[in-house]
A and B are shown apart, each in its own frame.
Chain A
C-alpha cells in the first residue's frame, strides 16, 4: 500500500477531502449533504492519510485526541439545543440570525451549530476507532 505515488498523493487527497467535507457540511441544509455525510468524508480522508503515512502522523496532524473532538461535538450539539431554552422556546427549536458580513447577508442558526456538532462527533468517534484499530493492528 505504501507505494511512492500513493504516499505522495495522499496529503493532497486528504486536504481536498477535508475541504470537501466541510463544503458538504455547510451546504447540507439546502443541497444534498450535512454533518453526518461530511463527517464520514472527513474520516475517510484521515483513513487515507493514515494508511499512507501511519497512525502517529495522523494523530499529530489532528492535534487533539479524536475522542476530545467527538466530545466537543456532542457539547456543541447540546448547546445548540439549550440555547433555544434560554430564548424561551422549546428545546431544540431552530433559531436563526442574519448578520451582515462585508455587505453579504450570512444566515447563521443553532441548526448549523447542531449539524457541526454531528460532524465532529462522527469524525471523532469513527476516526478514534479506526486509528486505534490500525495502531495495534501491526503488532
Chain B
C-alpha cells in the first residue's frame, strides 16, 4: 500500500477499533486493553515515519474527493503542527486505552467505554489532520459529540448528565460559530483547504470581513479551549471517568481550540485585533484558572482549573506576536500534554486505590504507593518548571519571550509569573500532600495499582524527562517543525537545559520563590478565595443554567403563542392566508380576469345539473342542523361529479363520487364523536366573520379559475401523454398511466402520506384524554386528504 492509503487507514483505524471494542471487552475483559491499544500504537508508528520529512520542512498533503460537486474533499495536511498533535493524540491515546483497562476493570460497560474513547481518538486525529475546512468542522463536532458521550458515561448520575449536556451545548455551539467563520474564509478567499489558504497571503487581513471571520473563529476556539468566560464546562466535565479527563480535558480535545489558532496564525494572526483579543482573553483565563484551582480541594478539579489556566497561557502566547512567543507556546503545549496527562492519571490512581480524591483527607501514601509518588513528583517538577524536566525548558522560553523591557510585555510577564507560581503551588500540593505527612485513614486500603494503571503516567513522566535531556533531538523532530508551521516561516528552537544567566532565569527564580510561598500558605489562600467567590456569588456556571432556563421558557412561550391547540384558530389562520394569497396577489399585479364569457347555447341538462349544485349549496346554508348541511354539501359534490362525467373525465368523476360519499360518512361519524349540538347556536357576531372569510375564499377561487381558463390552453402535455401512453406504458387510460407509471414516484409519496395520515388519525382517536378536541383534528386531516386527492 502507498503512503496515502496507509494514512487514510490510520485515520480510520480508531473507528474500526471502536467497532470491535465491545466484543473484545466481552471476550477478554479488561485485558482487551492490551489488544485495543495496538490501534493507537499502530497509528503512532505510522505517523512516526513522517518525522524525517516533516523535520526537513516538508508538508505532506493527500486525500480523496468526497463531494466533488461542492469542492469538498477528505484530505489531510501533515506539517510540523499537525504531526506533533497526531503523535500526542495517538501516543497518549495508546497509554490511555491501557489505563482505562485498569481503571474500569470489571465495569459492566467497559467495552462501551473503550468504544467511545477510541471514537473520540479518531475524531481528534481527523480534526488535526484535516486539510479541508468542512472536514475539520465535521471532526470538530464529532469530538464534541464523543466528549458528550464520555462525560455522560455514568449516565445514572444527574451531575454527569448535566455536565455532558453543558459541554455539548458550549462546544457544539462554538462549533457552529466556527463553521460560520470558516464559510466566510471560504467566501473571501475562494479556498477550501488550509494548505492553499496558508499561501493565500495578506489579502484576508485587509478584507472587510476579516473581523467577522476572526470573531467567529475565536468563538469556536475559545469555547473549545475553555477560555474565560466559556471555561465553566471544563471543571464540570470532571464528572467523566478519570481516563477521559486525562485524555480529553488535558492532553487533547481542549487543545483543539489552541490548535486552530495556531493553524490560522499565518493567515489571521499578527493584526492589532489578534494581538489584543488573544492575549487579553488568554491572560484572563490564566489568572481565573489559577485562582480557582487554589480554591479547590478535589484533586481532579484542581487539575481541571490549572488546565484552564494553561490553556489561557497558550492562547496568550499565540497572540502576543513577540519573538520567542510561538516557540514558547510550542514547547509548553507539548510539556503540558505530558505532565498534565500524567498528573490526571495519578489522581485517578489515588482515587482508585484509596477511594477518595479530596486533598484534605489524604496523606502518608508514600509507603503504600511509592511508584505513584515518584511519577507524581516527576510530573509536578515538570509542571512547576524545574530542571531537568521539559516544563523547565518551556518556561525558560516563555520568559525569554516576555522579558523585553516594554510595558506590554512587562504586564503579561507579571500575569505569567503570578499564574505560573500559583500552578507551581497546586502542582506540588497534588504531588506531595497525599503522599507526605502522617497516614490518614481512607475508604479503601491503599496499595500500588496494577501495571495497567501506572504504565501510562510513568511513560509520560519519563518522556517529559528525556525530552528535556535530549532537547536537541526534541527540537529537531518536534519543536522546530511545529513552530515553523505556526509562524509560517523557518523558526528554529534552540533552548536547552543548560541554564544561561539572564532575565528568563531570574523570572523563573521569582516564580519558584513565589510558588513555594503560595504552597506554604495554600490553606490560607484557599480560604481567602472561598470568601471572595462567595461574595461574588454569581458565576458563568449559574449563568448557563439561567440561559438554558430562559431558552426553554421562551421556546414554550413562542410555541404556546403559535400553537394554541384550538382548531378553530388554526383553520381561521389557514383560510385567512388562502384568501390573502388569492385576492391580494392578483390585486398587486393587476391580474384579475376579464368579465366571464357565457356560452349562448348551454344544453338544458347541463343547466339542470348546475342548478342542482347551486340548490345543494343553498340548502347547506339554510340547513337547520349540521347533518342536513353535510348531506346538502354532498348534493353539490355529486352535481360537480356529473359535470366531470359530461366533459369526458370519467376517472375524475368516479373519484369525486366516491370521495363525496365517504366524506359524508366520515363527517357524520366525526360529528357524532364530537357530541356537538345538532345545530350551530353561535350568535351572529361570531358567525359573520366566518361567513365573510368563506365568501372571500370562494370569491378568490372563482377569480383564479376564471383567470386560468382565460389563458390559452397549452396542450403539449396532453399531446405527449396521448402519444406515448400506449406505446411506452402499454396503457390506454392516460389518467391511470400517469398516476401509476409516468408519475409513479409521486403516487408512492402520496400513498405514504395517506398511510401516515391514517396512522395519525388512528392514534388520535385512540387517545382517551382530551378525546373531543382530538377528533376535531382528525376531521381536518380527512378533509385535507380529500382536497389533495381531488386535485
Point out residues on A near B: beta carbons under 8 Å: 24, 28-37, 40-41, 43-44, 47, 66-67, 70-71, 73-74, 77-78, 81, 91-92, 94, 96, 107, 109, 111, 114-115, 117-118, 121-122, 124-126, 128-130, 132-134, 136-138
- Sort A-B residue pairs by CB-CB distance and give the 6 closest, nearest first: A125-B758, A40-B658, A32-B650, A30-B732, A133-B669, A29-B731
DSSP class of A's interface residues: helix, strand, loop or mixed?
A: helix
Distance A78 CA – B729 CA, assembled complex (angstroms): 19
With A40-B655, A94-B741 already in contact, the answer to whether A34 and B733 are too (CB < 8 A) is: yes
Distance A78 CA – B747 CA, assembled complex (angstroms): 11
B739 within 8 A of A: yes
Whether B731 and A36, one on each chain, are in contact in the complex, defined by CB atoms closer than 8 angstroms, is no
B577 within 8 A of A: no
Contacts of A122 in B (CB 8 A): 751, 754
Distance A67 CA – B759 CA, assembled complex (angstroms): 7
Closest to B651 in A: A32
Distance A73 CA – B659 CA, assembled complex (angstroms): 20
Whether B751 and A117, one on each chain, are in contact in the complex, defined by CB atoms closer than 8 angstroms, is yes
With A34-B736, A130-B666 already in contact, the answer to whether A73 and B762 are too (CB < 8 A) is: no
Distance A34 CA – B672 CA, assembled complex (angstroms): 32
Whether B748 and A37, one on each chain, are in contact in the complex, defined by CB atoms closer than 8 angstroms, is no
Whether A137 and B673, one on each chain, are in contact in the complex, defined by CB atoms closer than 8 angstroms, is yes
Contacts of B748 in A (CB 8 A): 77-78, 81, 92, 114
Closest to B750 in A: A118
Whether A118 and B747, one on each chain, are in contact in the complex, defined by CB atoms closer than 8 angstroms, is yes
Whether B659 and A40, one on each chain, are in contact in the complex, defined by CB atoms closer than 8 angstroms, is yes
Distance A21 CA – B398 CA, assembled complex (angstroms): 87
Whether B765 and A136, one on each chain, are in contact in the complex, defined by CB atoms closer than 8 angstroms, is yes
Contacts of A136 in B (CB 8 A): 673, 765, 771
B661 within 8 A of A: yes
Of the listed residues A107, A111, A122, the one surrounded by the most CB atoms of chain B closer than 10 A to its CB is: A111
Interface residues in B741-791 (C-beta closer than 8 Å to A): 741, 744-745, 747-748, 751-752, 754-755, 757-759, 761-762, 765-766, 771, 775, 778, 782, 789
Contacts of B752 in A (CB 8 A): 74
Whether A94 and B730, one on each chain, are in contact in the complex, defined by CB atoms closer than 8 angstroms, is yes
Taking the closest CB of chain B, its distance from the CB of A45, in whole angstroms, is 11
Q: Mark B645-657, 1 if CB is under 8 A from A, else 0.
A: 0000011001100
Contacts of A77 in B (CB 8 A): 747-748, 751
With A81-B745, A117-B751 already in contact, the answer to whether A129 and B673 are too (CB < 8 A) is: no
Contacts of B736 in A (CB 8 A): 28-29, 33-34, 115
Whether A81 and B762, one on each chain, are in contact in the complex, defined by CB atoms closer than 8 angstroms, is no
B737 within 8 A of A: yes
Contacts of A96 in B (CB 8 A): 730
In the assembled complex, 26 residue pairs joining A and B whose CB atoms fall closer than 8 Å, in A order, are A29-B731, A29-B733, A29-B740, A31-B733, A33-B736, A34-B651, A36-B739, A37-B658, A44-B661, A47-B662, A70-B754, A94-B730, A107-B730, A111-B729, A111-B744, A114-B744, A122-B751, A124-B758, A125-B755, A125-B759, A126-B754, A126-B758, A132-B765, A133-B669, A136-B765, A136-B771
Taking the closest CB of chain A, its distance from the CB of B449, in whole angstroms, is 57
Contacts of B757 in A (CB 8 A): 125
Whether B733 and A73, one on each chain, are in contact in the complex, defined by CB atoms closer than 8 angstroms, is no
Taking the closest CB of chain B, its distance from the CB of A108, in whole angstroms, is 11
Besides the contacts A125-B758, A130-B666, what 12 more A-B pairs have beta carbons closer than 8 Å? Answer: A24-B654, A28-B736, A29-B730, A29-B736, A33-B651, A33-B733, A36-B739, A70-B754, A71-B755, A73-B755, A111-B729, A129-B666
With A74-B752, A118-B740 already in contact, the answer to whether A28 and B733 are too (CB < 8 A) is: yes
Whether A34 and B735, one on each chain, are in contact in the complex, defined by CB atoms closer than 8 angstroms, is yes
Contacts of B661 in A (CB 8 A): 44
Of the listed residues B650, B736, B775, the one surrounded by the most CB atoms of chain A closer than 10 A to its CB is: B736
Q: Mark B381-413, 1 if CB is under 8 A from A, else 0.
A: 000000000000000000000000000000000
Distance A28 CA – B568 CA, assembled complex (angstroms): 40
Distance A71 CA – B729 CA, assembled complex (angstroms): 27
Contacts of A118 in B (CB 8 A): 739-740, 747, 751
Of A34, A35, A92, A129, the residue contacting B782 (CB under 8 A) is A129
Distance A66 CA – B733 CA, assembled complex (angstroms): 29
Of B669, B744, B755, B775, the residue contacting A81 (CB under 8 A) is B744
Contacts of A74 in B (CB 8 A): 751-752, 755
Contacts of B731 in A (CB 8 A): 29-30, 111
Closest to A139 in B: B673
Distance A73 CA – B747 CA, assembled complex (angstroms): 12
Contacts of B669 in A (CB 8 A): 130, 133-134, 137
Closest to B756 in A: A125
Contacts of A133 in B (CB 8 A): 666, 669-670, 673, 765, 775, 778
Distance A91 CA – B757 CA, assembled complex (angstroms): 25
Taking the closest CB of chain A, its distance from the CB of B545, in whole angstroms, is 44
Distance A28 CA – B745 CA, assembled complex (angstroms): 18
B5 within 8 A of A: no
Interface residues in B633-684 (C-beta closer than 8 Å to A): 650-651, 654-655, 658-659, 661-662, 665-666, 669-670, 672-673
Contacts of A67 in B (CB 8 A): 758-759, 762
Distance A30 CA – B740 CA, assembled complex (angstroms): 12
Distance A14 CA – B109 CA, assembled complex (angstroms): 60
Distance A133 CA – B776 CA, assembled complex (angstroms): 11
Whether B672 and A137, one on each chain, are in contact in the complex, defined by CB atoms closer than 8 angstroms, is yes
Distance A92 CA – B778 CA, assembled complex (angstroms): 32
With A33-B736, A92-B748, A107-B730 already in contact, the answer to whether A132 and B766 are too (CB < 8 A) is: yes
